Structures are given as C-alpha cells and as structure tokens.
C-alpha cells in the first residue's frame, strides 16, 4: 500500500482507523481475483454520495434563500458530476493509491472517470464514518472551495433545457413541450417568444433572436420558479417567478 501519511496530508484529514481509507481505495475489480467475500469501496461510495449531496445541498440552501428547488438542484448538479468528482480525486492523488485487480490495471483503470469519481465519494464516506459529519463537511467544503466556497450567485446553467427535463422526469415520463407563440421584426432581425409547458401547465416564457435561444430562455425562467407542486399538486395555477 502506498504511503498513507502522504495521502492523508493531501486529504487534510488523518484517519483514526486507516483501514477505512484502505477500503475506500479498493476498487470492485479485486473481487474477480480475490473472491466475492473481499470488501470493496462500493458501500462507502454509496454512503459518501449521500453525505456529499447533503453537505452541498445544505450549503446552497443557506447561501441562496430566495431560490427554489429548480435552480438549487441545477447548481448542485453542476458542482457534483462524474467529471468534477474525478477531477477532485486526481487533484488529491487518489489515482496513485487506488487498489485494482491486475486485469483492471492492464486496462488502464486508473484513468477511468467512473473509478476516480467513485473513489472520491468513498473517501467522503470513510471520513464520515471515521470522524463524523462535521469532519466530512469540512473536507467537502475545502475540496470545493475554488468552485463553491466563494459563490455569491447561483452558477449559470450550461443546459437549461436538459436540466428542466431531468427535474420534471423525476415525477413524470412526459417531456416538457416548447411552443413559439410570437415572431416579430423583419426577417433579418427577428425576435422570438416561446413558452414551455408540462402537463398542460405553463412553466415559463422566454425571448431570443432565434427559436432555440427563446426556448433556452423559457427553460431558464421555468427553473427559477420550479417546484414539484407546480406540476403535480396544483395543476390549476402557473408557477410564480421569483427574482434572484
């Protein structure tokens, strides 16, 4: 096993039970060589995923009291995805410490985004078990300090239409419907206005110099006011947009 002291210095946390750290670094591929009874980091990854989500959700909730679920969920999704978690893992040097099977090593498992992301979440789970929620919170917020710690506004959405669809499909298989309701101006300089609906309910309106831009603007407007009750509990009313 590689030097635990060096790794723990990188993590900024010293384990009371170093076996938890070893377990967090044990890739599931080892079961193919050592048998199904060998413990791997899958259970810790499951735990760490929930701890990470809770820490960042609480921080977003406290920082941005005027935002509803939609933009808060979108901001969390930007902070926590496989690519960003893998970057965190590599920054900490976890790729140099992961325990793989010989076959997985030969297939360059250390470079796989999924393996890196899972290991990072497993380390969070291990810290949570070893030092409690406060220790895990400190580690998470320190890890995300550059991307998150100095935020004074919700991050801009890279894909508002996709984010809106993901949020709506948590409760329904129906996709949002976009409709262009007006086109104004000469052919070389048109202004489009679009509405997005779900289940017959208007969620937002947007404008843009093309149909695509108007749809993106409508999705962004819907996300600002999106809550589950907008589409499920109160089908007779439209959501009220809240200014950030």
Which residues does residue 191 pair with via DSSP β-bridges, in sequence order?
184
Residue 121 among the catalytic residues: yes
| 49 is known as an active-site residue | yes
Q: What angle do CA 31, 81, 108 make, to 5 degrees?
A: 40
Out of 59, 104, 121, 193, the active site residue is 121
- Give the whole-angstrom CA distance, residue 50 versus residue 45: 9
Alpha helix (H) ranges present in the chain? Answer: 4-11, 18-24, 31-34, 42-63, 69-79, 82-92, 102-106, 113-131, 133-143, 160-168, 211-225, 228-231
Residue 208, helix vs strand vs coil: strand
CA distance 128 to 180: 50
Q: What are the structure tokens assigned to 172, written together?
A: 């329904």
Using the 8-state DSSP alphabet, how is residue 111 labeled? G
The neighbouring-strand residues paired with 183 are 192
What's the start-to-end Cα distance of the chain, in Å?
49
**Which of 45, 49, 104, 217 is the catalytic position?**
49
What does the angle CA 117 – CA 118 – CA 121 come to, to the nearest 5 degrees?
90
* Residue found by looking up tokens 């809240």 in the block: 242
Q: Please tell me the distance from the alpha carbon of residue 147 to that of residue 59, in angstroms, as a whole number.
A: 13
Catalytic residues: 49, 121
């Amino acid at each position: 096993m590689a030097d635990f002291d060096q790794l723990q210095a990188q993590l900024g946390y010293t384990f009371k039970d170093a076996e938890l750290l070893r377990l967090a670094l044990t890739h599931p591929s080892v079961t193919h060589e050592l048998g199904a009874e060998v413990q791997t980091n899958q259970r810790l990854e499951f735990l760490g995923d929930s701890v990470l989500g809770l820490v960042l959700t609480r921080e977003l909730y406290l920082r941005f009291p005027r935002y509803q679920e939609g933009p808060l969920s979108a901001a969390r999704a930007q902070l926590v995805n496989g690519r960003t978690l893998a970057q965190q893992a590599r920054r900490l040097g976890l790729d140099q410490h992961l325990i793989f099977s010989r076959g997985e090593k030969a297939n360059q498992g250390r470079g796989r985004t999924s393996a890196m992301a899972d290991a990072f979440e497993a380390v969070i789970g291990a810290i949570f078990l070893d030092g409690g929620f406060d220790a895990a919170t400190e580690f998470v917020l320190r890890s995300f300090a550059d991307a998150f710690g100095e935020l004074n506004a919700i991050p801009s959405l890279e894909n508002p239409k996709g984010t809106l669809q993901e949020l709506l499909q948590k409760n329904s298989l129906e996709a949002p419907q976009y409709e262009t309701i007006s086109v104004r101006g000469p052919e070389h300089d048109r202004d489009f206005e679009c509405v997005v609906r779900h289940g017959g309910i208007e969620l937002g309106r947007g404008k843009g110099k093309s149909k695509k831009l108007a749809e993106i603007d409508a999705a962004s407007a819907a996300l600002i006011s999106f809550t589950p009750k907008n589409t499920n509990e109160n089908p007779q009313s439209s959501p009220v947009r809240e200014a950030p």
